[in-house]
Every structure is written in structure tokens, then in C-alpha cells.
Amino acid sequence: MNGLSSRMMSSARLRWWYVIHKWTSLVCTVFLLVLCLTGLPIVFHEELGLWLGDIVNPPPQSGPMTRANLDNIVQDAQSRRPHDAMKFLMQKEDTPVWFVIFGKTSQSIEHSAIYQYDSRSGAFLHDVPVQEGLLHILLTLHVELFAGLPGMLFLGAMGLLFVASVISGVVIYGPFMRKLPFGTVRQQGSRRLTWLDLHNLLGIVTVVWVLVVGATGVVNTLTRPLLSLWQITELAAMIEPWREKPALATVASLHQASEVARAAERNMEIDIIALPGTPFAGEHHFAFFMRGTSSVTSRLLKPVLVEADTSDLTDSRSFPWYLTFLLLSQPLHFGDYGGLPLKILWAVLDIITIVVLMSGLYLWWKKRRMSVEQLLAEATPAESQVFSPITHIVRQ
């Protein structure tokens, strides 16, 4: 009696897990296909950017590495864009390049121009296309579906459904396939059964990767809210003594301020510089976001504030845990921390995931009129139906 109750309970639980897998998959699959298809070229965005001419590599240089004077770079860039506000300078890791980023105003989210400079000589290299080109279209579609923050949050919700779909798929995989050798793809029977086995096999061998990429993708959709939280809490506390002071008419040397930031964090390099007036620095400071030099710490940033008029060090503190978690999730999502071999692996796994998603749609379309009991019975090998929970479902 207890065994029968246990089998009935297992049958009911399996049925519900199947329903969860079916509907979470149906709701999110189309959007996940968009993300996978757009994510495939984004994995190689640097290589494609060079190939398309969106960015350029600086010329080779012999001798010891030198640092260009940032004031000269700022002066040259501002002369090319006199009516726009310079917002950020970003240094590309492992490549001697500074990107100087402009907006119509210092508060604007959209960029109006991006200039590329050699970080050793300070020479102008390239005018990077802004808000145009294939990569821009793919990245915008991948990140926000051309819908801004609401689009990002919507994709985050789809990511949560995807994670639920993967977990439920793992739960129902065992009862279906426990009597078959791992990797079996049955050729006898209907084509739908063959595709079901292939769908299950590809899904289970990539389960860890898709869970990591799916979960980190959900975290990445929270980038703007998490940064806003940091701005109104941590950053606001750092610049509170200057909050009531008027905005600066002129600023001191950016190059001198950068040396102060480097002296404050001697084992780190500058990754991003936010200029005064931007939401990441306030009206009276340069904000230097420093990164570590190891393979792990290079993804972690630490803000250092330097007064823009006196070049005095104001504050230096680590990011809170939620931004640290965000920064660590980004390279895991895009696979851009292990060079070209890891990018190729990410691309292969992405293609496999596309096959899983499309085969799932095919299976649903072919069996959309079948009952849950029929689907479970068909998917289970006959020899495993003697005492399995699925037998009980079919007999009810």
C-alpha cells in the first residue's frame, strides 16, 4: 500500500514537473532563440569589430611601454567635438588603447561619439561608429530588444523562465531515460521519438553551461538598477560634503589626478574614468574605476574619487557585494575571459542550445494535441514501464 502511494505521489509530481517544463519552455523559447542567435556573433565582437573596421589595433611599438599624457588626449578629443560633453575614458584591457566617449550632455545615456587613441603615444587612431552598424543592432537586440530598461527587465524574466525550464527538464529526464544507456538516440519508431532523444541528450550534456549563462544573463539585466542603487547609496555618501557646492567652472589636470589614483591603488590599473558632471562621478570629482591585474581581479573594479580642482584624494572603497557579483557574472555570460579558444567553445555550446530550443518547438508542434499521459508513455522505453511511475499515469 505504501509502495502504491509512493508511486502515485511520484506520478503526480512527475506530471507537474512535465507541465512546468512545457509551459516555461513555450513562453521563453522564441526570446531565447533571439538571444542565442544574436549572442553567437557577440561572442566574437572584438574580432568582428576589427574585421568590420569599427575599431582598429594600434601600431606595434618597440621598447618599454610608455603612458601618454591624458590631458593631451582630452584636449585633442574635445577639439574634435567642441559642442558635446566628454563623459568617460575607457582603457581596453591587454591593448594599449583609450576610448574617449562623448554625449550630447554629461548626463545623457546615449553616446554621441567615441574616439580611439593610442595609450602609449596619445595619437588619434579612429572614430568609432556610434549607434550604427551590425554589431550595434545585434547588441541592442540582445540586451534590451530595442525597448530600453523595460526590454532588459523583460528579458530577465524570460531568463528566469528559461532556468525553470532547464531545471524541470533535468527532473523529468531521469524517469524517461533511466533504462536506456546514456547517449541513446532511438532510431526505431517515429521521427518525433528520435528528435526527443536528441533533444534530451543535447539538453543534458549542456545543462551546466546553459544554467550558468542563463543565470548570469538574468543578473546582467539588472545592471542599470544595481548601478543606480550604488549611485544613490555608496557614491552619494562619498560625495556628500560637496553636494551643496556649485559646479566647477574649470578642472585641474586629468593626468595628475590619474597619478593620484594610481598611487592610491598601486597594484591596480585604470579601467574607466568618469569625468565631473556624469552620474558616476558627481560635479566635483574624477572617478577612477580601478581593476586588478590578475585573471580574476581584472574583472573587479574599485572606485577612487579624486577632487577635480585640487587633485586631492577623496575616497577609495570597494564595490558592494551586488556589484561584485554583477562584475563576475559578465565574463561568464559572454565567455570573454579566456581568449579565442573559450570563445569558440562558447559558440559551439550556443549552437547546441539553438538546436535544443528549435527541437523543443518541433516536438511541441508535433505532439500539441496529445495528452500528458500519452506523451509520457511514448517517451518511456517499454522495458522500463513495468513498475515505473509512468505506468501508473497511463493506467489512470
For residue 283, tell me if it sits in a domain.
Answer: no
Contact 118, 68 (CB under 8 A): yes
For residue 195, tell me if it sits in a domain.
Answer: yes
Give the pLDDT of the chain (396 residues) as one tens digit per residue: 444 444 444 677 878 888 898 899 999 999 999 999 999 999 999 999 999 999 999 998 877 778 999 999 999 999 999 999 999 999 988 889 999 999 999 999 899 999 999 999 999 999 999 988 889 999 999 999 999 999 999 999 999 999 999 999 888 877 766 666 666 777 776 777 788 888 888 888 899 999 999 999 999 999 999 999 999 999 999 999 998 898 888 899 999 999 999 999 999 999 999 999 999 999 999 999 999 988 778 889 999 999 999 999 999 999 999 999 999 998 889 887 778 899 999 999 999 999 999 998 888 887 765 555 555 555 555 443 333 333 333 333
For residue 97, tell me if it sits in a domain.
Answer: no
Based on the structure, what is the number of domains in the chain? 1
For residue 300, tell me if it sits in a domain.
Answer: no
For residue 326, tell me if it sits in a domain.
Answer: no
Angle made by CA atoms 256, 122, 111, in degrees to the nearest 5: 85
Contact 281, 261 (CB under 8 A): no
For residue 353, tell me if it sits in a domain.
Answer: yes
Contact 18, 375 (CB under 8 A): yes
For residue 38, tell me if it sits in a domain.
Answer: yes
How far CA 122 is from CA of 125, 260, 349, 363, in Å, comes to 9, 20, 40, 58
At residue 389, the pLDDT reads 34
At residue 386, the pLDDT reads 30
Contact 73, 96 (CB under 8 A): no
First to last CA, the chain: 17
Helices (H), the chain: 2-43, 45-52, 70-80, 134-144, 148-177, 191-205, 207-220, 223-230, 236-238, 254-264, 321-334, 339-366, 372-379, 389-395
DSSP state of 204: H
For residue 294, tell me if it sits in a domain.
Answer: no
The three-state secondary structure class of 313 is: strand
Parent domain of 24: 2-45+138-221+339-395
